[in-house]
Structure 1
Amino acid sequence: MERRISGVRHMCTLTLLLVSVCPLCCRASWMWLGVTAAGVPEKLGCANLPLSPRQRELCRRKPFLLPSIQDGARLAISECQSQFRHERWNCSTTGQPTVFGYELTSGTKETAFIYAVMAAGLVHAVTRSCSQGNMTECGCDARLRGGGSAAEGWHWGGCSDHIQYGTWFSRKFIDNAVKNMSTSRGGYTLITMNQHNTEAGRQAIERTMSTDCRCHGVSGSCAVKTCWRTMAAFERVGVYLKERYERSVQVSDRSRKNTRRKEQRRLPVDKHQLIFFNKSPNYCLEDRRRGIAGTRGRRCNRTSTKPDGCNLLCCGRGYNTHVVRNVQRCECKFVWCCFVRCRRCESMNDMHTCK
Structure 2
Amino acid sequence: MEARNCGVRHMNTLSLLLVCVCPLCCRGSWMWLGVTSPGVVEKLGCSNLSLSPRQRELCSRKSILLPGVREGARLGVAECQRQFRHERWNCSTNQKVPVFGHELTSGTKETAFIYAVMAAGLVHAVTRSCSQGNMTECGCDARLRGGGSAAEGWHWGGCSDHIQYGTWFSRKFMDHTLKNMSTSRSSYTLSTMNQHNSEAGRQAINRTMSTDCRCHGVSGSCAVKTCWRTMAPFQRVGTYLKDRYEHSMQVTERSKRKMKWKDQRRLHVDKHQLIFLNKSPNYCLEDRRRGIAGTRGRRCNRTSTGPDSCNLLCCGRGYNTHVVRHVQRCECKFVWCCYVHCRRCESMNDMHTCK
Q: TM-score, normalised by structure 2?
A: 0.91
Q: Is the 8 A contact 2:11 2:44 kept in 1?
A: no
Q: What is aligned with 2:183?
A: none
Alpha-carbon shift at residue 26 of structure 1 (Å): 3.4
Alignment partners' CA distance in 1, 2:297 and 2:15? 37
Q: What is aligned with 1:281?
A: 281
Alignment partners' CA distance in 2, 1:132 and 1:231? 13
Q: What is aligned with 1:262?
A: none
Alignment partners' CA distance in 2, 1:218 and 1:9? 65
Larger proportion of helix = 2
Q: What is aligned with 1:114?
A: 114
Q: What is aligned with 1:95?
A: 95
> Relative to 1, partners in 2 of residues 1:18 and 1:224: Cα closer, same or farther, differing over 3 Å?
same
Alpha-carbon shift at residue 30 of structure 1 (Å): 0.5
Partner of 1:290: helix, strand, or coil? Answer: coil
Partner of 1:305: helix, strand, or coil? Answer: coil
- The alignment status of 1:159 with 2:143, answered yes or no, reads no
Q: What is aligned with 2:323?
A: 323
Alignment partners' CA distance in 2, 1:227 and 1:330? 46
Q: Is the 8 A contact 2:25 2:99 kept in 1?
A: no
Alignment partners' CA distance in 1, 2:7 and 2:208? 49
Q: What is aligned with 1:49?
A: 49
Alpha-carbon shift at residue 335 of structure 1 (Å): 1.7
Q: What is aligned with 2:182?
A: none
Matches within 5 A, 1:258-277: 267-277=267-277
Q: Which one-letter code corresponds to 2:19 in the other structure?
A: V
Alignment partners' CA distance in 1, 2:17 and 2:305? 47
Q: What is aligned with 2:245?
A: 245
Gaps of 5+ in 2: 180-185, 260-264
Matches within 5 A, 1:1-355: 9=9, 12-176=12-176, 189-252=189-252, 267-355=267-355
Q: What is aligned with 1:182?
A: none
Tell me which moved more, 298-307 or 18-27: 18-27
Q: Which one-letter code corresponds to 1:276 in the other structure?
A: F
Alignment partners' CA distance in 2, 1:8 and 1:299? 46
> Relative to 1, partners in 2 of residues 1:5 and 1:124: Cα closer, same or farther, differing over 3 Å?
closer
CA deviation map 1:202-239 (0-9, x unaligned) = 00000000000000111111110000000000000000
The share of aligned pairs that are identical, in percent, is 84
Aligned residues between the structures: 343
Q: Which one-letter code corresponds to 1:275 in the other structure?
A: I
Q: Which one-letter code corresponds to 1:82 in the other structure?
A: R
RMSD (Å), alpha carbons: 2.3
Q: Which one-letter code corresponds to 2:213 in the other structure?
A: C
Q: Which one-letter code corresponds to 2:276 in the other structure?
A: F
Q: Is the 8 A contact 2:54 2:176 kept in 1?
A: no
Alpha-carbon shift at residue 267 of structure 1 (Å): 3.3
Alignment partners' CA distance in 1, 2:228 and 2:58? 31
Partner of 1:211: helix, strand, or coil? Answer: strand
Q: Which one-letter code corresponds to 2:172 in the other structure?
A: K
Alpha-carbon shift at residue 4 of structure 1 (Å): 7.9
Alpha-carbon shift at residue 329 of structure 1 (Å): 1.1
Tell me which moved more, 10-19 or 296-305: 10-19
Partner of 1:227: helix, strand, or coil? Answer: strand
